[in-house]
Structures are given as structure tokens and as C-alpha cells.
A = this chain, B = another copy of it.
Amino acid sequence: MSANALLRGETIGDDIGRLMRRIGAGARAAAAQLATVPTEAKNAALHQAARNIRGRAGDILAANGRDVTAGEEKGLGKAMLDRLALDDARIEAMAGGLEDIAALADPVGAVIAEWDRPNGLHISRVRTPLGVIGVIYESRPNVTADAGALCLKAGNAAILRGGSESFHSSGVIMECLAAGLIAADLPAAAIQLVPTTDRAAVGEMLRLSEFIDVIVPRGGKSLIERITAESRVPLFQHLEGICHTYIDAAADPEMARRVAFNAKMRRTGICGATETLLIDRAIAPAVLSPIVDDLFSAGCEVRGDDATRAIDGRVLAATDEDWDTEYLDAILSVKIVDGVEAAIDHIARHSSRHTEAIITDDPAAADLFVNRIDSAILLVNASTQYADGGEFGMGAEIGISTGKLHARGPVGVEQLTSFKYVVRGSGQCRP
């Protein structure tokens, strides 16, 4: 009988509250052990898990087939089904992702800063694990591997609550992780997948502040809103990405055209995709139509304000709602603004404080834009699609935080740590 089947068996005749408290207590105990395990043990578990995933690719595909069939029967949308479906390439990417995380430097024990005091005390600030991290996510089964591995690498225990759509796929992936933990002599409760699709488990998880230090919610707006409203556990906020690209009067028109197209169309379904294009009135007649040409050729719908439509009549009319919409689709809203200050004002009113870009050759406009806007990521002359932990060089990420406490922007392995102060003296007494 597999570990996961055993876990699932536990739910029979058990109530969800008791189940979740047992999971929480197990995670807390595992976290205490994980805080001081050697890097080699964590990496060994990750490498073994990667081997297990490759070795059990057939089982994973079979389980995923059941999930996809159930999803089709439930009438899940095409985008959701695409996120859910695994194939050989995605399974290999998942295994490779675990190896990439194993290859990252271990953040635990790293000295972030150190200094001496006049009284001879030597103070150092040392990275420690956070403790227990809860992850609540929707359809993508690969999050089970990515999130579990990132938490483990940072010395944290993980409680993973996947979407019901990916229940079978995630179960087999969890078995691969669990066997990796056991092979490396790490506590089995270091990574736990909530073994029920009962939605009450999420509510229970949000109340487990005794056992969970932080919850990372990943998913659609309604999931995030529910979690934010209910949670008694601190969250790394992951709101939607209403990202803007602003083309300044001093932009290079060719660069603006290329970057705007990439920012919208490279992948429309990611949170760093640009949803609204702002164009300075002075340059709009020169840049708008070529950009619209490119977007139309790629099948993108374009909605604009009156000034946009006056320049290019092919553009549909935008409504007020458009400025506050994360399309996650091949739709772009376009607005003509009077200079960088007006762009900043629009962004202050409509942005979700995720990522914004300015295209300009004017350093003063660039500085104003990056200094004045209160978003996690601000780019100058680059595509908003770079809003990604991997692209930042952080290795994998567990998500992108739009909150300002603890983690902001891509949440990688370092953002999943805390720190402590170690003070070494020679008998100092405070006067």
C-alpha cells in the first residue's frame, strides 16, 4: 500500500478538523528537525524524488489521464485543462526542476550581515527556515513538486493543498517526493499533501496558525479573495497581475513595438503579461498602428479609449471596467496619456502593484517612473514578461508576491527563510 493511499485511508471516519490538526502537528515536528539537517540530505531527497518522477512517469500519466477525463466531464475550460494536462515533456521538466532546486545554494545558515560593536560584541544575522509553509493552489499538478521542493530546500515543512482537479496526479507526484524523503532519512511529514478534496480542509488550514507560519495562495481571484478574507495565518499575498507597459514620448519606436508585443503576447496567461498599454500622446501616432498590426496578426483583441480609436479606427471601444481587468488572454487595453506623470497616475489607480514597464530613452522619465510607482517590479526598456523568479536568477519561485511584508516580487528559496541574530561576546555585561 503506498504512502499516499495510506494517507488517504486516514480520512475514512476521521473529521477534517482532526485530520488537519494532525497534519499540522506533524509538519511542526518535522520543521524542528529540518531546521538543522545537512544540505546533502535535502539534496539527496530532491535527486531521489526526481528519479522517482522519471521512473514513475507512466503512473503519473495514468493518474493525470483520470484527472483530465474527470475535468472534461466537469466541463473545465480549455485553459484550465491545459494547465492540468501532463505529458512526457512536462514530467521531465518537473524532474529537472527538482534537480535545479537541489543545485541552488542552501540558504539556511548563510550569514546575511555581520558587524562588530564598540564593546566587542560580534553580531551576525543568520538565515533560518521560516518553519511550516502552507501552499494552496489550483489545477497545475507540477506545483506539488515545485512548491514541496522549494520549501524543503529552505528547511521548511510544507503542507500542500492542491486543487481537486489534479487530485490523482498530485497524489502520485507526492508519492515520488515522499519516497525521496524516506530515502534521505528525512521526516516523512516534511512534505504533506492534504489527502482529501473536501473544501472544508482549506478552511481548517486557514485557522491552523498554531502550526502554519505562512500560507502561499496560488490561483484565481476568487480563491485568493476567499483566503484573504478568512485566513488567520499570515499570507504571502498573490493578487492578480494588472501589469502596465508605458511608451514614453522619448521611446525608441522600434523597441517600443517589439517590447509591447512581447509583453502582451509571449504568454497571455501569466501574471506578468501586460494587460494595459499606456502611450504618450506625442508618440502615439507613430507607434500605435504598427503595434496594433502586430497584435492583430497574432489574433489579439485591442480595446482603446477615444484618443486611441481616433488614431487607429480598428481598435474597439474600451469601457471603464477594462482598466481594472486582468484578461489573462489575448486582449489588450490601450490608453493615450499626457506624459509620464499621467501614466504614473493611471497606474496608481488601476495597477495591482505587480509589475510595470516604461519604454524610454529619457533617464529622468525612467527614474520618475521607477521611484514613484509602488509596484513589486519596475522595468525600464524590457518586457513585463520578465517578472519571474527564474528570470531574476533566483532559481524556481513559489509565486510572485504583491504584498509588501517579508516577500515582495518573486518568492524564491531565500524568501522562504527568516533569520536570527547570533551575538558572540567575551563576558559582556550591559552597563
Residues of A at under 8 Å CB distance from B?
Answer: 32, 35-36, 109, 115, 117, 121, 123, 128, 130-131, 213-214, 234, 252, 255, 258-259, 261-262, 266, 348, 359, 366, 370-372, 374-383, 385-386, 388, 391-393, 404-406, 408-409, 418-430
Contact = CB atoms under 8 A, between A and B. Distances in A.
A274 to B, nearest CB: 12
Among A35, A406, A419, A427, residue most surrounded by chain B Cβ atoms (within 10 Å): A427
A423 B377 contact: yes
Among A392, A406, A421, residue most surrounded by chain B Cβ atoms (within 10 Å): A421
A35 B393 contact: no
Contact of A405 (B234, B259, B409): B234
A-side binding surface: helix, strand, loop or mixed? mixed
B266 A392 contact: no
Contact of A371 (B36, B372, B377, B379): B36
Among A35, A36, A123, A426, residue most surrounded by chain B Cβ atoms (within 10 Å): A123
Contacts of A214: 405
Among A359, A366, A425, residue most surrounded by chain B Cβ atoms (within 10 Å): A425
A109 B427 CA distance: 38
B393 A115 contact: yes
Contacts of A32: 348, 374
Given A121-B382, A386-B121, A374 B421 contact: no
A392 B428 CA distance: 13
A371 B109 CA distance: 8
Contacts of A404: 128, 130-131, 213, 418
Contacts of A430: 262, 266, 383, 385-386, 388, 391
A114 to B, nearest CB: 12
A358 to B, nearest CB: 10
A383 B388 CA distance: 44
A392 B35 CA distance: 25
